[in-house]
Structure 1
Amino acid sequence: MKDSFAFIKTDKKLIKLYYKEITVIKGLGNYVEINLLDGQKHLYYKSLKELIETLPEEFMRVHNSYIVNLDSIDRIEDNHVIVQYQKIAIAKSYKNCLITAIEKRML
């Protein structure tokens, strides 16, 4: 079984993050901003491209600048995913993959 958490190094501290608490990861050049369910945000020195390769399968890239936790998506409207009142555009290149993943979770 894959780990349910990971550590990140930020502000000279090692912080334990549970995957289920991560909602959105926003790319900021060579850094990422990791948003948590409780509203906390952590800045981490890693690119989105590097990070997506190490995350569990419930994390999906939906835009060049965003990775979302599928478990955190509240709804999908038009070409946007809504996660905790945050509206994130779905890029055309990632849409089919996202829809396929969502269809696997439909009732």
Structure 2
Amino acid sequence: LKAVDKAIGKRKVQMSIPKSFYVQSDKRLIKINPNDINYVEACGNYVFIHLEAQKIFTYCSLRKLIEKLDCENFVQTHRSYIINIDKIKDIEDNSVLIGNKVISISRRFRKNVLNSIDVI
């Protein structure tokens, strides 16, 4: 029983560590660490991945990127936005402040956003 508990514990730790992935942008493959992502913005069939120092433009659906970001640190706030909850500076009414960007929270996703953060 102890061995099974230990194996399950190790498996949970391995699953919680976000893995880096590559996206294609301008005929280059760019390695992205999920911890470096501030937010992701959809624009039709393309997405802008906003990092601290740069913005990466790639052909990808938001749904496909959500699968790659299968981590408890990311939540969808709007049909066009996914945010890294660790990068949130402020939440006010129906918006989130990340860096200097105000991102709206739609009524559809508001409950998920509030459930994702720790409120005292």
TM-score, structure 1 as length reference: 0.90
* Alignment partner of 2:75 out of 47, 53, 60: 60
Runs of at least 5 residues in structure 2 that lack an aligned partner in the other structure = 1-13
**Where in structure 2 are the equivalents of 1:1-107 lying within 5 Å?**
1=14, 2-38=17-53, 40-55=54-69, 56-103=71-118, 106=119
Q: 1:3 to 1:101 in 2, by over 3 A?
A: closer
Bigger Cα Rg: 2
Q: Secondary structure at the match of 2:115?
A: helix
**Alignment RMSD (CA, Å):** 1.3
Q: Secondary structure at the match of 1:53?
A: helix
Distance 2:114 2:81 in 1: 16
Distance 1:3 1:68 in 2: 15
Distance 1:93 1:34 in 2: 22
- Map Cα deviations across residues 20-79 of structure 1 (whole Å, 9 max, x no partner): 1110100011110000012x0111111112211221221110001100011111110111
More helix by percentage: 2
Q: Secondary structure at the match of 1:74?
A: strand
CA contact (8 A) 1:60 1:67 kept: yes
More strand by percentage: 1
CA contact (8 A) 1:72 1:83 kept: yes
Q: Which amino acid aligns with 1:34?
A: I
Cα drift, residue 4 of structure 1: 3.5
How many percent of aligned residue pairs carry the same amino acid?
37
CA contact (8 A) 1:8 1:17 kept: yes
Count matched residues: 104
Runs of at least 5 residues in structure 1 that lack an aligned partner in the other structure = none
Task: Write out the 4+ residue segments of structure 1 that deviate beyond 6 Å after TM superposition.
Answer: none
